Structure 1
Amino acid sequence: MESGRKQRISDAFGAAANHYDDHAGPQRAAAALVAELAQRQKPGGVQRILEIGCGTGFLTRDIQARWPVAELIVTDLSPEMLARTARHAFVAGTFLAMDGESPPFEGEWFDLILSSLAFQWFDDLPDALGRLASLLRPGGSLIFSTMGEGSFCNWREAHVDCGLIAGVPAYPSLADLRSVLSSYEDAFAFDEIYPLGCDGARGLIAHLKGIGAVVPNDGRKPLSPQELRRTMAAFDEAGGEDSYQVLFGRITRSPL
């Protein structure tokens, strides 16, 4: 794993591991849809599955239930998240602390590569998708969800109203993702909106801290206490609610 930003991401999610599930409503919903899409795509003939970014095991447990005899390799950037999934998920598999952008595999290994809400932490999504797709067996599929640019748009707007820039990462649009996937013969993307129900700025901040999503863009200076209070007030005055835009994508390798 790279030092610097990736280590900060790992540390933040590791610190949130024990209370992540209490704040992870959209994460549960997105993981369930990834698993459903995967089963529709490949209900049988699945021998080996790779999961990228298991978190606390929402998708992991669903994978195990749908393909109980498949060999499962479960990975996460955070050793603490990985350990929690291995300890509490009652799932049999191989658990590997790994940066999903740099998988230690070569050749055609997997019938399914699945991931939910992890790819937004990648440094170079198009390159990572290419590397992961190269690990698919003929007929195999990479199915994932990731954050879209419409996520936390009200929180971003509150910053703009105060003459500030939010530390929320710059997520791709649905059009951006479709453009990336257009180079693959069999691929598609769509989006879903998940209201957060944060009930004000304090609730939104508590949600982000609760899931460990607190690492800002590189070079972004944290808000001063006064700036944060102004931004929170602007957010609350505008309604105090926000949502996730989750992008879903699928890449399928042609069968022989």
Structure 2
Amino acid sequence: MNTPVTSLPLPRWQERVARAFSRAAPRYDDLASAQRDIGETLWQTLPESAQHVLDLGCGTGYWTQRLTTHYPNATITGLDLAPGMLAHAQAQYGDAIRWQQGDAAALPLDDASVDLVFSNLAIQWCPDIGAVMQELARVLAPDGQARITTLLPGTLSEVATAWQRPEALLQTPDASAVQRAIQQSGLRLTQHACDQRRFFYPDLNAVMASIKGVGAQVARPNARLNRQALATAQARYESLRTPQGLPVSYHCLTLQLESAI
């Protein structure tokens, strides 16, 4: 049986990310429609069978629980950096799943212990993509596979434009950097695809709720805005309005990887 999830000491940047996602946990599933849509595409690529499955960056456990249904005889682990997410997942889905706090760049797992890694929109939060790929290569068993979506530069560009803050853009490696990291890790890249997904919201409040609600906006010191700044940002965003609503773009990279062993 799982013990209650406890918070491990984390470096400063990881602590900020973990805190943001922990705060988001109670509302995450209600606001993560974009993430859910992207994950459904990844879900269609899953192999028929697996015995030891890792949901890397499991969040509130939505995909982890689905993995238990898809692979009813498998051992399923949900791993996330944010203890608040894991506590929420454990409370919702129970102890049949192993819930584990950990860093994708330093996985608390044995060598060659996993035959399938599923990871939907998680590894873009890791500053060292090379270390992530090295860890995946280490924990994947012979003939193991990974199914991953991550985000590319240009994601949330409309938000950055509206607020006139380039730092609103996620600082993600580009597709060529990810592919180099895969090659250096020894993993085999069997398929990949880059595409842009646009999602639409009725107003700026809904846009910002969708981003804050999924932890994608880490608080910065002195980030308070006055009414004039808010009005200006709203006007900029309104200039981007389409008949469907205010757009938010996600530039996605989908990867299918195999162990080289």
Q: Is the Cα contact below 8 Å between 1:178 and 1:189 reproduced in 2?
A: no
Q: Is the Cα contact below 8 Å between 1:141 and 1:250 reproduced in 2?
A: yes
Matches within 5 A, 1:96-111: 96-111=100-115
Residue 247 of structure 1: aligned partner: 253
Give the TM-score taking structure 1 as reference length: 0.86
For residue 132 of structure 2, what is the amino acid of its counterpart?
Answer: A
1:117-156 deviation per Cα after TM superposition (whole angstroms, max 9, x unaligned): 1111112012211112211111101221111223212222
Quick one: which of 25, 29, 34 aligns to 1:26?
Answer: 34
Matches within 5 A, 1:102-181: 102-160=106-164, 164-181=165-182
Alpha-carbon separation, structure 2, partners of 1:106 and 1:90: 24
Q: 1:205 to 1:198 in 2, by over 3 A?
A: same
Gaps of 5+ in 2: 1-8
Gaps of 5+ in 1: none
Matches within 5 A, 1:1-256: 1-39=9-47, 43-44=48-49, 46-89=50-93, 92-160=96-164, 164-183=165-184, 184=186, 186-187=188-189, 188-215=191-218, 222=223, 224-225=225-226, 226-239=228-241, 240-254=246-260
Q: 1:112 to 1:127 in 2, by over 3 A?
A: same
Alpha-carbon separation, structure 2, partners of 1:138 and 1:86: 30
Q: Is the Cα contact below 8 Å between 2:64 and 2:77 reproduced in 1?
A: no
Alpha-carbon separation, structure 2, partners of 1:174 and 1:121: 15
Alpha-carbon separation, structure 2, partners of 1:101 and 1:229: 40
Q: Is the Cα contact below 8 Å between 1:52 and 1:74 reproduced in 2?
A: yes
Alpha-carbon separation, structure 2, partners of 1:95 and 1:185: 26
Q: 1:138 to 1:208 in 2, by over 3 A?
A: same
